Amino acid sequence: MRVVRSLATVAGLALMVILIVRVGSDEALRATARALGWRSLLVCLPFALIMAVDTLGWRYAFAYDRVPFLRLVAARIAGEAVNVMTAVAPVGGDAIKVWFLRPHVPYQESIASVIVAKTTITLSQALFLLIGVMAAVALAVDARLVRAMLWLLLVELIGAGGFLAVQVAGSVSRGARLLSRVKKLDALAGAENLDRTLQSFYRREWRRFALSVGFHLLGWLMGALETWLFLRVLQIPASLTTALVIETLGSAVRFATFFVPGSLGALEGANTAAFAALGLGAPAGLAFSLLRRLRQVVWIGLGVLVFLLARARMRLAPEAPA
């Protein structure tokens, strides 16, 4: 799998180079450069609020509040940074999140929370894309763009629905390899315990499940506001509705290209095409993509720093009971 991700990363980088050469213009690159001054603070700060809201979504993926909120924030920052770097990182970001929670909850509960959070964030992503489709129809954008968004919505609904159904049916034990990576529980027994934990959550914790979906949806909507701010920084005239369409399409592309670290290349290509379809120009889409990558690099660096600091401290912390 790492070989596939590495090849996908190389292909994504190649696509980015092609886009910069063929679509990039002096004006687009100058617009990106202008945004790297004092406005860089505006580029990076809004994501802190989005991260906090998404962490609340993860918090309600537990059956009860037990992990300090700041610990969850740190785990999410570090885990998401590693997820983007999976082509070069030896472990996945979800394993990092589980590792972060060791002093507070047993492995079984932390793993279950990560799975539930992935489910709720995917369901909220599908709802977000549905809102984006309605916005695209209201803007009367190119019908090809609307069709693409509808196909992506179908893919998300099938993926999210199937993932939820597998958990409710208690079929997680078939994927015991997930637990074998943790190396703390017997694979079969651990998978069966995980099945019971997930089924209990979905049957008894509907309120927390709904809150988790709601906070993640709020995070996606705040992402649309961040996109609008990016457009303002780049001096690209666009409405909030247009920013919503751009962000929903981008989120759907990230979902469909999950196997590509950071959706490298695929997201740039989608943004370039979307900006052209929305009448903003392909170069503007490329400038927007480069600015988003800048923000991503800053937060990856912060996530790696958080992970390194936590690793140094965790050696002195007692382990939670398994």
pLDDT digits (tens, 9 = 90+) for 220-263: 999 999 999 989 888 888 999 999 999 999 999 999 888 787 88
CA atoms of 105 and 111, how far apart (whole Å): 10
For residue 19, give the 3-state DSSP assignment.
Answer: helix
The full DSSP string for 219-240 is: HHHHHHHHHHHHHHHTT----H
Select the more confidently predicted residue: 173 or 48. Answer: 48
Cβ atoms of residues 295 and 44 within 8 Å: yes
- Integer CA distances (angstroms), 150 to 108, 125, 156, 163, 315, in order: 37, 13, 10, 20, 48
- Integer CA distances (angstroms), 17 to 11, 29, 31, 265, 291, in order: 10, 13, 18, 9, 15
Domain coordinates in residue numbering, the chain = 37-314
Cβ neighbours, 10 Å, residue 173 = 17
Place of tokens 């170069």: 283
Cβ atoms of residues 123 and 132 within 8 Å: no
Select the more confidently predicted residue: 288 or 177. Answer: 288
Residue type, 209: F
Cβ atoms of residues 107 and 185 within 8 Å: yes
* Residue 125 burial by Cβ neighbours in a 10 Å radius (0-12, 13-18, 19+): buried
- Integer CA distances (angstroms), 129 to 53, 113, 123, 275, in order: 18, 24, 10, 17
Among 11-15, 19-23, 78-82, 168-172, name the most confident range: 78-82
User: What pLDDT is stored for residue 31 in this prediction?
Assistant: 56
Select the more confidently predicted residue: 216 or 311. Answer: 216
| Residues 204-215: tens digit of each pLDDT | 999 999 999 999
32, two tokens? 């990106």
Of all residues in the chain, the percent with pLDDT exceeding 90 is 37
Angle, helix 282-314 to helix 93-100, in steps of 10 degrees: 40
pLDDT of residue 94 exceeding 90: no
The full DSSP string for 275-287 is: HHHTTS-HHHHHH
155, two tokens? 């893919």
Residue whose C-alpha is closest to residue 220's, from 75, 71, 49, 77: 49
Among 39-43, 92-96, 300-304, name the most confident range: 300-304
- Integer CA distances (angstroms), 312 to 93, 151, 301, 309, in order: 18, 46, 17, 5
| Residues 154-200: tens digit of each pLDDT | 999 999 899 888 888 876 655 544 445 555 445 555 677 888 888 88
CA angle centred on 178, ends 306 and 125, rounded to 5° = 65
Query: Comparing 41-55, 85-99, 192-206, 207-221, which segment has the lowest mean pLDDT?
Result: 85-99
144, two tokens? 């090809």
Query: Comparing 3-12, 44-53, 106-115, 294-303, which segment has the lowest mean pLDDT?
Result: 3-12
Query: Comparing 14-28, 150-164, 195-209, 271-285, which segment has the lowest mean pLDDT?
Result: 14-28
Select the more confidently predicted residue: 11 or 281. Answer: 281
Banded pLDDT at 5 (limits 50, 70, 90) = low
Cβ atoms of residues 92 and 254 within 8 Å: no
pTM of the model: 0.85
pLDDT of residue 116 exceeding 80: yes
35 secondary structure, DSSP code: T
CA angle centred on 111, ends 177 and 172, rounded to 5° = 50
CA angle centred on 83, ends 256 and 184, rounded to 5° = 120
User: What pLDDT is stored for residue 91 in this prediction?
Assistant: 55
